[in-house]
Amino acid sequence: MTKNDLIKKLHEELKTYSIQDVSYVVNIVFDSMIDAIKRGERIELRGFGSFEIRERKPRMGRNPKSGAEVKLEKRKVPFFKTGKELRIMVNDKK
């Protein structure tokens, strides 16, 4: 599902709001999540999962095209961990 798909789905459910209003709200939510992650905050959506920043240690990597070794510096990466309810739903367990 893309962001546009999400906006269209929400617009179908909330017909009293224009697609521009729904798009505005979705963008506010996503921008707020991005800002929180940039500040190093953890985002938890109960039943869905959580987003957090993890730090990767420096290491030697390889360029996949040439095979040459490349030094990778310490960096921060976003990480998503699914919630228990979502895992159960995906695996069709009741």
Domain count, the chain: 2
Residues 28, 60, single domain; the answer is: no
pLDDT tens digits for 65-83? Answer: 999 999 999 999 999 999 9
* Paired sense of beta strands 59-62 and 49-56, if any: unpaired
Residues 92, 53, single domain; the answer is: yes
- pTM metric for this prediction: 0.76
pLDDT band at 2 (very low <50, low <70, confident <90, very high): very high
Q: What is the CATH number of the domain that holds 89?
A: 4.10.520.10
Residues 17, 37, single domain; the answer is: yes
Residues 94, 54, single domain; the answer is: yes
**CB 55: neighbour CB atoms within 10 A?**
8
- What DSSP string runs through 28-93? HHHHHHHHHHHTT--EEETTTEEEEEEEEPPEEEE-TTT--EEEEPPEEEEEEEE-HHHHHHHTT-
pLDDT of residue 94: 61
Residues 33, 53, single domain; the answer is: no
Residues 53, 27, single domain; the answer is: no
- Domain range for residue 24? 1-41
